[in-house]
């Protein structure tokens, strides 16, 4: 079975076609700058061990034009990997927010689409774009089953004592204000990989997803029991441009003393804070250059970044009454030795002991970077959200 995975944003479509017999991608790419003067389509194929790439630039006024071009490329005589769109039996869509309505992956019906619309206020930047992707895919691939995989679903097992906020009850009951969490597809994928590696179904695992957006999850026996992001993706860890946890009094202070509007404060905390606010840089590679130059702001920022992660490791070890493994994943988590070192140092009380040589000599797949005698495993596991979406889609349609 061939499954097309789609992640539709407000001005982009990320896609990957996966052969589920081998679980390998046949093609992948990105449609971006939708609605602007010049759009871009990037397309890669992976056939018989050979990779081909092409890039096109032309006006892409809407998502329909972009996805139709992707379908044409997939079936093109020269660069295509299938002969007809009907060879795509299912389309798996990344849907960011499922609220409390969606605790698992579902086939998309009119009722599902209506519910996703109801949830627009919880994810105003993501859910509308995600739904556009669904509706366009229905027209471009009419014979394929459309399936929704929700970022929040994996976290719906979090107990009420962990997901509720200590505010008047009616705000939860009438407006759904509670912790939901995000990056669920990634946390699910790597925690399952870790449990399989450990050979322990009841493993207590802390997953650490570090990209431009960052979050952690406490996974006990395959069940998520807590996560760092909340009702939205702002809280928890320090991120590329997001502040992570702050004292709410700061918001009132800025409004009262600086006259900032709600929108200005939201922009400040979401787009101008985090590593950007501390160092002027959002990319950890650029931050590392500053580190090498001895930049004091970069040194402090990385210390703060790691300190926040360590705080949650301690918290989640307490919540689960132990920890069997830490898992580093996503762009920074998988690639930045300096961050892993900062996080793991002085954590011997929890059985966490980092091995520098193992970290430097990384191998593909699950890679162990703890010392031989450490009680707690420290693992690097590459995330694969597209494959996880495809697997969940297959479970629904097979």
Instruction: State yes or no: 14 annotated in a binding site.
Output: yes
- Annotated active-site residue 151? The verdict is yes
Q: What is the pTM of this model?
A: 0.91
Per-residue pLDDT tens for 203-242? 999 999 999 899 999 999 999 999 999 998 899 999 999 9
Q: What are the φ/ψ torsions at residue 145 (nearest 5 degrees)?
A: -80, 135
* pLDDT higher than threshold 90 for residue 50: no
CATH 3.30.420.40 in the chain is located at 2-150, 199-380
Instruction: State yes or no: 209 annotated in a binding site.
Output: yes
CB atoms within 10 A of CB 377: 21
Q: Which CATH architecture has domain 2-150?
A: 2-Layer Sandwich (3.30)
CB atoms within 10 A of CB 36: 12
pLDDT band (50, 70, 90) for residue 259: very high
Active-site choice (76, 151, 226, 324): 151
DSSP per position, 342-377? HHHTT-GGGT--B-HHHHHS--SSSEE-B-TT-SSE
Question: What span, in angstroms and rounded, lies between the C-alpha atoms of 8 and 115?
Answer: 18
% of the chain with per-residue pLDDT over 90: 79
* pLDDT higher than threshold 80 for residue 49: no
% of the chain with per-residue pLDDT over 70: 100
Question: What span, in angstroms and rounded, lies between the C-alpha atoms of 31 and 33?
Answer: 7
Residues 6+ apart with CB under 8 A from 212: 239, 240, 241, 282, 331
The pLDDT value recorded for residue 140 is 87
Per-residue pLDDT tens for 331-360? 999 999 999 999 999 999 999 999 999 999
* pLDDT higher than threshold 90 for residue 78: no
The pLDDT value recorded for residue 191 is 97
Instruction: State yes or no: 236 annotated in a binding site.
Output: no
Contact call for residues 247 and 210 (beta carbons, < 8 A): no
The pLDDT value recorded for residue 28 is 94
Residues 6+ apart with CB under 8 A from 190: 207, 209, 327, 329, 381, 383
Q: Please name the fold of domain 199-380.
A: Nucleotidyltransferase; domain 5 (3.30.420)
pLDDT band (50, 70, 90) for residue 173: very high
Instruction: State yes or no: 289 annotated in a binding site.
Output: no
* pLDDT higher than threshold 90 for residue 329: yes
The pLDDT value recorded for residue 391 is 96
The pLDDT value recorded for residue 311 is 97
Per-residue pLDDT tens for 272-316? 999 999 999 988 889 989 999 999 999 999 999 999 999 999 999
Question: What span, in angstroms and rounded, lies between the C-alpha atoms of 165 and 45?
Answer: 47
Per-residue pLDDT tens for 351-392? 999 999 999 988 889 999 999 999 999 999 999 999 999 999
Instruction: State yes or no: 7 annotated in a binding site.
Output: yes
Instruction: State yes or no: 333 annotated in a binding site.
Output: yes
The pLDDT value recorded for residue 363 is 85
- Supply 15's token pair: 């896609």
Helix (H) or strand (E) holding 57: strand 50-58
- Supply 362's token pair: 């990384």
């Amino acid at each position: 079975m061939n499954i097309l995975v789609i992640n539709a944003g407000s001005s982009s479509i990320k896609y990957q076609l996966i052969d589920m017999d081998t679980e390998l991608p046949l093609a992948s790419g990105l449609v971006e700058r939708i609605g602007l003067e010049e759009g871009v389509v990037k397309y890669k194929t992976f056939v018989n061990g050979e990779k081909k790439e092409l890039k096109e630039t032309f006006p892409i006024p809407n998502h329909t034009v972009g996805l139709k071009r992707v379908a044409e490329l997939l079936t093109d005589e020269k660069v295509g990997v299938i002969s007809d769109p009907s060879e795509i039996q299912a389309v798996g869509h990344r849907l960011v927010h499922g609220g409390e309505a969606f605790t698992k992956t579902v086939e998309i019906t009119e009722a599902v689409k209506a519910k996703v619309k109801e949830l627009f206020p919880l994810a105003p930047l993501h859910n509308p774009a995600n739904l556009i992707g669904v509706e366009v895919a229905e027209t471009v691939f009419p014979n394929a089953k459309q399936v929704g995989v929700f970022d929040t679903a994996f976290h719906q097992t979090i107990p009420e004592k962990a997901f509720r906020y200590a505010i008047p009850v009616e705000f939860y009951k009438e407006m759904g204000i509670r912790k939901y969490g995000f990056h669920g597809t990634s946390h699910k994928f790597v925690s399952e990989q870790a449990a399989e590696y450990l050979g322990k179904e009841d493993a207590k695992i802390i997953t650490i997803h570090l990209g431009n957006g960052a979050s952690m999850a406490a996974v006990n026996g395959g069940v998520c029991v807590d996560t760092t992001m909340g009702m939205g993706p702002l809280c928890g860890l320090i991120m590329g441009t997001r502040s992570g946890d702050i004292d709410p009094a700061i918001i009132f202070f800025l409004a009262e003393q600086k006259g900032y509007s709600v929108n200005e404060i939201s922009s400040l905390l979401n787009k101008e804070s985090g590593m950007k606010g501390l160092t002027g840089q959002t990319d950890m590679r650029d931050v590392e250059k500053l580190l090498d130059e001895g930049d004091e702001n970069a040194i402090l920022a990385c210390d703060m970044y790691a300190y926040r992660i360590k705080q949650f490791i301690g918290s989640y070890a307490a919540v689960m009454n132990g920890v069997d493994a830490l898992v580093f994943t996503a762009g920074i988590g998988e690639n930045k030795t300096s961050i892993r070192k900062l996080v793991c140092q002085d954590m011997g009380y929890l059985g966490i002991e980092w091995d520098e040589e193992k970290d430097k000599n990384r191998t593909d797949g699950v890679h162990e970077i703890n010392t031989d005698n450490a009680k707690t495993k420290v693992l690097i596991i590459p995330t694969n959200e597209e494959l996880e979406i495809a697997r969940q889609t297959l479970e629904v349609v097979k």
